[in-house]
Amino acid sequence: MIDRIWLHPPLAIARLGPSPVPCDNYRWGPSDLSPRGTGKTTVVPAVTLDLAADGTLSERMPAQTRFKDADGWRPVCPYFELHATWTSGGDRRTGPLTEAVLAESGLSRADLRWRVAVANLKAYHYTQATGDRVEAHAEVRGDDHTRHPLDGTSPQGDARPLVPAGARLPLGAVQLPAPNAALPELRLRFTPGAGAVYGPTDLATRARGTEYRLPPERLILDAGAVWCGFPLQNTSDDPRTVPGGLFAGAELEESLGLVDDVCDGTVVATLPGGLTATARIVVGPPDFAPDRRPFISLADGLADRVRREDVHDPAYLADERLTALEVRDLFERVLETMGNVNVEVQNGRFRTPPLEPPRKLTSVLLELTDRGRRRHRRYVALEVLEDLLREQPGLLRRVVREPVPEEPVWDERMPVAMRGADSYALHLTRRQYDLLVNWSRTLRGNTEAGS
């Protein structure tokens, strides 16, 4: 008897892409940190599931991972796998849900229901007009293996819905693979949109004098919707316009009414008797640098909320397998992020007046960028970092920005010239910052005790 179900993963991130071929599965391998290495994390192919139009599922090991093809970026299309706990023959078991497990409980795939609901609420966030919501949903029976589109529409009860009656803004699609002997698990695959932008029917008129152009088939939005007339000027005190610098720097009096096909929402699986499993799906842009890991990730944000206290535990700090490796991983990711930054450009943006370029030509085109990358490369060698922190006890507090300072001003502390989601200067999570400070203090304590 099945008594509990859940979806794995509970949260997945899909990535837009116009190619009809999904991106192959891959994982991050070891960083190339040799003296003449690139400093990048290697990308290693992993077992990939291919889903045919008729629902046939097969397994394949790619020889290499391709992120683009002739059609553009390949979308990242995550699978959600249904897991359960059940009792069989008096034993309690846990694992992926299969047809055999359903049959033991007197159920079949036809009894399983999937519901996917996604929305793009960017325009609604600004206007708070119900008609500017773009939503899509699909309900699929467990034995239906056809592809179901997620066609975005707006509430038609509103006076001027952004997506008018008869129009559809594609937000992706879902499909259930047919289980087989080799792959018996029950899954759903989510395919995101192509990464397209849609506009109002009168875009050519309202964008006159600009470079904004869209194909005619994407001019589907109601020009009279609230979003298409939303004022862009004098909104600095409007909390809906945070973070600042939005609207792609467009110097226009009102919105052009553009909407993309990014979305997020929920995936829900239900069995008779009220058993329900829910997961979240988030759609983002293509990963332009898959071999460069960010130094602040979604995982860091989640760890900051549920594991913040462990970096204050003396036992955790004393275990080098935990702390030293975690610190090294952070500085490796800092180096990888540094590899994506053009310091010359950032330096010019955030200094008033900008620094003058070097008067004497050198053999290095981006001198500041190269200097920064070389300096950060040193710190992935823990021995160098440890010696530096022992010699300069107050260094971290002086050069690394503390999370949520009393005055979130821009300064030269790290990370420099980078903006957070709140429009203020970017900073590490509280857990990351406290880990560095406490680890540094432990290093000094061990040195003093040894002397």
- Summarised one tens digit per residue, pLDDT across range 15-36 is 999 999 999 999 988 877 666 6
Strands 79-88 and 2-8: antiparallel
Lowest-confidence region among 94-98, 143-147, 416-420: 416-420
Q: What is the mean pLDDT of the chain?
A: 86
Q: What is the pLDDT of residue 354?
A: 47
Q: Which residue has the tokens 């096909």?
A: 261
In this structure, of 5-14, 95-104, 395-404, the range with the lowest mean pLDDT score is 395-404
Average pLDDT, integer, range 292-321: 89
The whole-number average pLDDT for the span 106-112 is 95
Percent of the chain with pLDDT over 90: 54
Query: For 212-234, what is the mean pLDDT?
Result: 88
Judge whether residue 179 has pLDDT over 60. Answer: yes
pLDDT in the model for residue 51: 97
Average pLDDT rounded to a whole number, residues 221-230 = 92
pLDDT at 362: 46
Q: How far apart are CA 41 and CA 136, in angstroms?
A: 37
Instruction: Give the integer Cα–Cα distance in Å for 61 and 73.
Output: 20
Residue 451: predicted pLDDT: 46
| pLDDT surpasses 90 at 88 | no
Least confident of 242-246, 401-405, 410-414: 242-246
Do 156 and 225 meet the contact criterion of CB atoms below 8 Å apart? no
Instruction: For residue 404, name the pLDDT band (cuts at 50, 70, 90).
Output: confident
How far does Cα 451 stand from its chain's mean position?
A: 47
Whose tokens are 């226009």? That residue is 252
The helix/strand/coil state of 189 is: strand
Q: Is the pLDDT of residue 405 over 80?
A: no
pTM for the model stands at 0.85
Instruction: Give the per-residue pLDDT at 262.
Output: 96
The four Cα atoms 38, 413, 438, 374 give a dihedral, to 10 degrees, of 20
Which range among 186-200, 257-271, 390-404 shows the weakest confidence by mean pLDDT?
390-404
- The pLDDT value recorded for residue 361 is 40
pLDDT band at 116 (very low <50, low <70, confident <90, very high): very high
Among positive and negative, which fits the CA dihedral 288, 426, 261, 252?
Answer: negative
CA atoms of 280 and 177, how far apart (whole Å): 19
- Integer CA distances (angstroms), 60 to 17, 22, 171, in order: 21, 13, 28
pLDDT of 242 higher than 90: no
For tokens 């047809």, name the residue.
99
